[in-house]
């Protein structure tokens, strides 16, 4: 019964992933109910990160790569600009799982690879990315030392935000994604690049094309489309790094100011 066993394993993995997603939604929901009271000031955030090293240049670059493939963005993000707003920041408990008990989040280090490819062990996560983290859509929350969830300071959200589109994912150069494009950033070729992408999509859906079914499959990454969208994918990754740079500059400046370092204890 190898096929049946494979199906059972897939269902087991999906159930575990769903429980993980449900836990994070529950934490976010509790934070949303008390958002105003729980939002950190910049001074409190800087104080919470006392002793947390800033990421290296390599860690920033690797994190941008990690973010770009951490989820199937080509299926979920808007194809056209401006896309979806992402937030990049430092989290004292980055790379940990969060378990919620009586509205208190308990960070727990991962000792082994989780079921989702992005759930890597905490030690490996910290080695590759430092204490970097990100959020998509909603304002991210981070746990204080006492387990209470806190919203990020508005200053961090302002400098750490960057919009991303479906193109940031390496599997985006497929017909079903690229055929929806109606706009393209000037920095990545503008109207000229958009017309080339549209022309390639027309070729792929031509009834005379022998590989029509394959070309229009969501799983087929077209090399020609990949070459055309690659400049925009790289631009978005650079924007991730720039956002991280701005956040690090703000944190570094906060550490250098006595009035910011003398903040209340963040629980």
pLDDT at 246: 98
pLDDT at 98: 81
Domain limits, the chain: 38-95+132-261
pLDDT at 12: 53
Alpha-carbon torsion (22, 144, 238, 129), positive or negative: negative
| Three-class HEC string of 3-41 | HHHHHHHHHHHHHHHHHHHHHHHHHHHHHHHCHHHHECC
Residue whose pair of structure tokens reads 């005379």 in the numeric block: 208
pLDDT tens string, the chain, 267 residues long: the values are 555 555 455 445 445 444 444 444 444 454 444 444 489 999 999 999 999 999 999 999 999 999 999 999 999 999 999 999 999 999 999 998 888 777 677 788 887 765 667 679 999 999 999 999 999 978 899 998 888 899 999 999 999 999 999 999 999 999 999 999 999 999 999 999 999 999 999 988 888 777 766 777 778 899 999 999 999 999 999 999 999 999 999 999 999 986 655 555 455
pLDDT at 23: 43
| Interaxial angle between packed helices 57-69 and 122-129, expressed in degrees from 0 to 180 and rounded to the nearest 10 | 120
The C-alpha atoms of residue 63 and residue 240 are separated, in whole angstroms, by 9
Backbone angles phi, psi at 217, to 5 degrees: -75, 145
What is the pTM (predicted TM-score) of this model? Answer: 0.82
């Amino acid at each position: 019964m190898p096929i049946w066993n494979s199906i059972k394993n897939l269902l087991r993995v999906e159930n575990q992933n769903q429980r993980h997603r449900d836990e994070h939604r529950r934490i976010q929901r509790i934070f949303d109910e008390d958002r105003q009271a729980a939002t950190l000031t910049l001074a409190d955030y800087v104080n919470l990160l006392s002793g947390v090293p800033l990421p290296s240049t390599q860690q920033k670059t690797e994190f941008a790569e990690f973010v770009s493939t951490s989820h199937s963005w080509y299926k979920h993000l808007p194809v056209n600009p401006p896309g979806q707003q992402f937030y990049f920041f430092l989290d004292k408990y980055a790379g940990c799982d969060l378990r919620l008990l009586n509205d208190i989040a308990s960070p727990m280090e991962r000792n082994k690879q989780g079921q989702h490819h992005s759930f890597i062990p905490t030690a490996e996560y910290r080695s590759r990315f430092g204490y970097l983290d990100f959020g998509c859509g909603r304002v991210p929350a981070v746990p204080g030392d006492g387990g209470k969830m806190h919203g990020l300071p508005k200053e961090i959200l302002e400098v750490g935000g960057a919009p991303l589109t479906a193109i940031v994912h390496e599997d985006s150069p497929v017909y079903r994604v690229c055929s929806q494009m109606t706009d393209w950033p000037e920095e990545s070729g503008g109207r000229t690049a958009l017309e080339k992408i549209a022309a390639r999509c027309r070729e792929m859906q031509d009834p005379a094309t022998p590989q029509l079914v394959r070309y229009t499959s969501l799983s087929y990454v077209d090399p020609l489309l990949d070459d055309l969208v690659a400049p925009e994918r790289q631009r978005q990754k650079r924007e991730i790094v720039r956002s991280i740079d701005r956040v690090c500059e703000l944190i570094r400046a906060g550490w250098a100011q006595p009035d910011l370092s003398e903040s209340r204890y963040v629980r």
